[in-house]
Amino acid sequence: MEQPLEVSRPDFPVTDQANTPPSPVDALQYAISSGLSSLQFSGEAGKVTSIRTVHTSQFTKQPDAQNFARTGNALLSRHEHSRNFDDLRGAITAFQDAVQLTPDYDPNKPDYWNDLGHCLYQLFHRFGKLDHLQSSIVALRNAIQLTPDDNPRLPFWLRNLAVFLNARFHRLGKLKDLDSALKTNRRVVELTPGDDPELPRRLITLALSLLARFNRLGELKDLQSALETDRRAVDLTPGDDPELPQRLSNLAVSFEARFNRLGELKDLESALETHRRAVELTPGDDPDLPWRLSNLAVSLRARFNRLGSLKDLESALETDRRAVELTPCDDPKLAWRLSNLAVSFEARFNRLGELKDLESALETHRRAVELTPDDDPELPQRLSNLAISLLARFNRLGELKDLDSALETDRRAVKLTRGDDPELPRRLSNFAVFLLTRFERLGELKDLESALETDRRAVRLTPDDDPDLPRRLSILAVSWRARFNRLGELKDFESALETDRRAVNFHGD
């Protein structure tokens, strides 16, 4: 089973203060001259313990909000160069102090709220703690609430809020967050002139929300809109823009999604070409490189599945390995990349039959599941992938415990899948295969009846234009024939024939 594609994190501007914004160098020099170099961090939490003391004015003996904000920007700038997360935590503390010391009527306060939200989101993005994401959303809503409609900074705040809402949707799966993100993104694009250099960045964020809704609800119009929006963003991006790799990667993801839905090879080729270009333009030390490598591997594996070229599979496996090696052990995205690597191992086992590849797939799938929180919406997919590997080992070695484990694991995956998730038909169809396999092994009619019921539901939930429909129909036909062979009822044989006809005629309709 293919892990859903992951798109790169949208970057968003780190805005300076509204009045006389300092450059990062000036801010850092100011912070150092104010005593920043003597700040102390506690080892466990990395919390700044002396910012308030450092920025008490020597003239008024009162804390100065602008000084805290400058320190926050300096620490944030240093973090973005060094990736030292103590600096990021220090920036959060500084911006919190700036917010607390600034009255609501001060025009600088929305900037402080936005910068605080940005830092909190960066911390969430790295460590995956939901509290940081929730706090970032609160911060941006506060910034927007204090910003007049005619303020040119409002689109920045709105876009950042949309990014955070989109992230919470992916974490918690609540459709209201996605709807809010989409509505906010559309407003941002409407507020942006056609010649504004920020337009491509805002288009990308809109496309991400559209693609997320397609992945959730399966409506093709959302996918087509996402693809066109991504194309427009790339077309508006200069060739030397450092954000071009990210935008190319997102466009490639949209191409891949359309290939998965409609099955047209030209979309897959476009995805591969665009992914490769994105990877080639990404520096080796860029923290987004593992993301782009994983997405490239997904496309390579998809072409292997379609055309059967072993070199595509070997390239996918090597690319997945590289993505995992470049991912820190405490990165919340490690589980996703491990899952993709396991899929590549299993694909090579299915092609070459070497048991060591299957064992590697099982070990890697288990590690991915162990690293996935219980409330993560990706958990059902990872459980499903693990179940498929367990079934493969049962088919190879014949040990019933593997089949039972596969059934229980996949049952959990189906149970955790939302009723409106487009992946539900696939998981139901797979679960039916597990049930049918156990029926063939043990001969218990209840397994066959459950397989038939599950097959029917999978077919009923599959769109008529879904390229996976013939496969699901074929599995249903197998179940009908199995019951005919067991019970001898002619109606089951006729149902099998009719279902087979539907599968054969799919591409001719």
447-482 residue pLDDT tens: 999 999 999 999 999 998 888 999 999 999 999 999
Q: Which one, of 425, 480, 499, lies nearest residue 457 by Cα?
A: 425
What's the fold here for domain 330-422? 1.25.40
Distance separating alpha carbons of residues 452 and 472, to the nearest angstrom: 11
Across the range 375-396, mean pLDDT stands at 95
Split at pLDDT 50, 70, 90, the class of 387 is: very high
Distance separating alpha carbons of residues 343 and 297, to the nearest angstrom: 10
pLDDT on residue 1: 37
Across the range 339-351, mean pLDDT stands at 97
- Return mean pLDDT, the chain: 88
Split at pLDDT 50, 70, 90, the class of 508 is: low
What CA dihedral angle connects 253, 254, 255 and 256, to 10 degrees? 50
Q: Who has greater pLDDT, 6 or 488?
A: 488
pLDDT on residue 31: 35
Given the structure tokens 């919390």, which residue do they identify?
A: 47
> 136: Cβ–Cβ under 8 A, 6 or more apart, which residues?
116, 117, 118, 120, 121, 124, 164
Structure tokens at 40: 């102390």
User: In this predicted model, what pLDDT tens digit does every residue of 404-452 receive, in sequence order?
Assistant: 999 999 999 999 998 988 899 999 999 999 999 999 999 999 999 999 9
Given the structure tokens 């955790």, which residue do they identify?
A: 416
User: In this predicted model, what pLDDT tens digit does every residue of 96-147 receive, in sequence order?
Assistant: 999 999 999 999 999 999 999 999 999 998 888 999 999 999 999 999 999 9
Instruction: Tell me phi and psi for residue 56, to 5 degrees.
Output: -80, 125
Check if the beta carbon of residue 368 is closer than 8 Å to that of residue 335. Answer: yes
Check if the beta carbon of residue 139 is closer than 8 Å to that of residue 160. Answer: no
Split at pLDDT 50, 70, 90, the class of 80 is: confident
pLDDT on residue 37: 31
Per-domain boundaries in the chain: 330-422, 431-509
pTM > 0.85: no
pLDDT on residue 82: 85
User: In this predicted model, what pLDDT tens digit does every residue of 29-73 receive, in sequence order?
Assistant: 333 333 333 333 333 333 443 444 444 444 344 468 999 999 999
Q: What is the DSSP secondary-structure string of 82-138? A: H--HHHHHHHHHHHHHHHHHS-TTSTTHHHHHHHHHHHHHHHHHHH--HHHHHHHHH
User: In this predicted model, what pLDDT tens digit does every residue of 266-303 receive, in sequence order?
Assistant: 999 999 999 999 999 999 999 999 999 999 999 999 99
